[in-house]
Structure 1
């Protein structure tokens, strides 16, 4: 099923803003911290500590991860795990883990929470989660205070200026809000109105992070969610849920415009977006080129397209996981995450980056 390229889905990779590119290896000691804000696509275990139905703290999640089951919604590494390694940094630990304090936070922290959205109400039927606004508060009121105590105000300013923030939000505002008849959003807003609501709320939180000292941002957007197994199960056989993909256009194009606005408005800051929609669409439209054989069902799940019920505890997943695009009803496999990270880090196509491609970022600093 062909995926139309309808917008800039920022799975931004600003993570590369001050990086040197040498022999295909990324890494720069000038990158001091790596702070991750987002949803289940980049959650590394925060929801393990919350009263939530959205958890991945059981096998087969983590079946291919070096540390086993951690709360990652993947068979292995997430997109940000690959980026951390490219930066030469450790995986940023989960904010909610009681051990995430003191020197352990110096390399960065991951605040991402499954079912979280840009809007506070998105995903509320899953129970507790750290929404975008709460994740920003967690950074401002907890992490910053600890860092200030450890390094002092002047050193903290330099540290934050050389750190990188990644934000990956938006999917739950559609999957677990706008597209659900139990939420009032679709009866209150047209798709463009809803997208603009999200962009306004997103901008407010990005400016809040800028105001406390962060300067390098990856703004993450939304992939073609109509092709995930959960939504394919609601579409005619053999098709993606086209309407879900179509309504993303205003948000993704607006996010690209927002990147411009923030770069103009915020002195000393760099905001970069990565077109995730195009990157994932390339894989779905040309799976064999990327080594995939199965794009229309999950490796782990139950029901039509293995997408109606996600992975159950201790149920054996498929064996050929590297040939599947989707791990469960909602999330990609580690193999896809690796490709997306490489595209973001080394990809030369201007379809992916805005406003800079990776190799030219250091020329614009």
Structure 2
């Protein structure tokens, strides 16, 4: 009887493994096919810490996030250099068609953050003990036990997301000898600004990659692609690729904190100077093959915890928020003018300021509970010192708008990116990212 039981058990396990392997293989092949058929072959990213995925890890700088508690909700709880508890906006724009989340259970597997993530991430597939179990909002509400795991089990979470492209790797992490630039590259660096004067000391010392230097790096990538693919094929590849740009926040933060905001330079001349510089920078990208631009405008940076802390009443900085509104409007005019001059150029501009302000003003309406205090940090409003291994952090990151003294949580980034990807005028215009991708 014992021997028969063992044989039966082994046979059942074998059937389960075969069934899982077949289902997983089918899913993986479908995912690969979808990725290959994507109208967007690659994503090239330039900007600041909102989009940095680890470039600053390779610089001798204090402007980095490759240490806890950053990445606490990233797969494997890994601090990758993203200024976030998990993924950032660039990750969600491309989305890996197969974003593999390895979740070790125990106390973490059943906490509210993970369950909320599952509930709000569809379509998803949970792989539990070699069984492929589809889970969605309806299924989960009918059988919540499917998302609760015993302490000795582990599960994988696979999600199909947006463009079906892996988030491009940081440029400084790539080997120059065998890098595949055709798959996309991320040049973004925490601390970068439109103006060379922003974080000037940091830039001079090589503690961040200035926006101009990022374009220099991209120029070398362009040359490499032209050499490896041929000029015509490289141009065709780049014309279909997305160029995601998020820049300007650091310029505005420094302006608001400096004496310039006290009357030395009014906001409009300040913004005009930024746009004059940005015009030449974007034109240079166009000259280097960029034809589909996703421009993520600056958020209401005056409401980030660090700038709130400068106010005795802990109010948002009106100076910074006004500059953000002016900057986004000017960037819209700039891009509209470029598109008029270059009929083969198309763009989608996301008004991050208008999109994020409702989260801050009425957080509960958008699923948040805290829109003033940072989740991770030290001191008043967790905004005196940023997120470090010594900092405290909130238990439920899903309910906080801000992760640290400047940056949004993964939950905020995901909601905003969803609006940019499938939203409409006036938040994203003249088209959304999905529509731009399909051109």
Q: TM-score range by the shorter chain?
A: 0.7 to 0.9
Aligned to 2:172: 96
Counterparts of 1:13-162 in structure 2, within 5 Å, are 28-66=37-75, 68-85=78-95, 86-99=162-175, 102-126=178-202, 127=205, 128-140=207-219, 142-162=220-240
Aligned to 2:241: 163
Aligned to 1:297: 373
Deviation by residue 1:245-276 (Cα, 9 ceiling, x = unmatched): 12333212111111210110113010220111
Distance 1:355 1:318, change over 3 A: same
Secondary structure of 1:260 counterpart:
helix
Q: Offset of 1:316 from its aligned partner?
A: 4.2
Give me the whole-angstrom Cα distance separating, in 2, the residues matched to 1:105 and 1:168: 20
Do structure 1's residue 216 and structure 2's residue 257 form an aligned pair? Answer: no
User: Where does structure 1 lack aligned partners over 5 or more consecutive residues?
Assistant: 1-24
Aligned to 1:9: none
Give me the whole-angstrom Cα distance separating, in 1, the residues matched to 2:368 and 2:35: 26
Larger deviation, residues 305-314 vs 122-131: 122-131
Q: Offset of 1:180 from its aligned partner?
A: 3.2
Q: Offset of 1:27 from its aligned partner?
A: 9.0
Aligned-residue Cα RMSD (Å) equals 2.2
Aligned to 1:19: none
Secondary structure of 2:373 counterpart:
strand
Give 1:225's match in structure 2, choosing from 276, 301, 305: 301
Q: Is the 8 A contact 1:262 1:271 kept in 2?
A: no
Aligned to 1:11: none
Secondary structure of 1:272 counterpart:
strand
Give me the whole-angstrom Cα distance separating, in 2, the residues matched to 1:228 and 1:90: 29
Q: Offset of 1:143 from its aligned partner?
A: 1.2
Secondary structure of 1:251 counterpart:
helix
Aligned to 2:131: none
Secondary structure of 2:257 counterpart:
coil
Distance 1:357 1:163, change over 3 A: closer
Give me the whole-angstrom Cα distance separating, in 2, the residues matched to 1:102 and 1:96: 13
Distance 1:346 1:291, change over 3 A: same
Give me the whole-angstrom Cα distance separating, in 1, the residues matched to 2:218 and 2:436: 26
Q: Is the 8 A contact 1:55 1:114 kept in 2?
A: yes
Aligned to 1:317: 393
> TM-score, structure 1 length as denominator?
0.86
Q: Is the 8 A contact 1:119 1:173 kept in 2?
A: yes
Give me the whole-angstrom Cα distance separating, in 2, the residues matched to 1:333 and 1:278: 18
Aligned length: 336
Q: Is the 8 A contact 1:102 1:146 kept in 2?
A: no
Distance 1:62 1:54, change over 3 A: same
Q: Offset of 1:338 from its aligned partner?
A: 0.5
Give me the whole-angstrom Cα distance separating, in 2, the residues matched to 1:137 and 1:103: 17
Larger deviation, residues 51-60 vs 68-77: 51-60
User: Where does structure 2 lack aligned partners over 5 or more consecutive residues?
Assistant: 1-33, 96-161
Give me the whole-angstrom Cα distance separating, in 2, the residues matched to 1:360 and 1:164: 12
Aligned to 1:173: 251
Aligned to 1:7: none
Aligned to 1:13: none
Counterparts of 1:174-213 in structure 2, within 5 Å, are 174-176=252-254, 178-181=255-258, 189-213=265-289
Do structure 1's residue 330 and structure 2's residue 339 form an aligned pair? Answer: no
Secondary structure of 2:75 counterpart:
coil
Distance 1:197 1:75, change over 3 A: same
Distance 1:118 1:359, change over 3 A: closer
> TM-score, structure 2 length as denominator?
0.72
Aligned to 2:115: none
Higher helix share: 2
Give me the whole-angstrom Cα distance separating, in 2, the residues matched to 1:155 and 1:56: 37
Q: Is the 8 A contact 2:54 2:81 kept in 1?
A: yes
Secondary structure of 2:185 counterpart:
coil
Deviation by residue 1:74-103 (Cα, 9 ceiling, x = unmatched): 000000101111211111000111447635
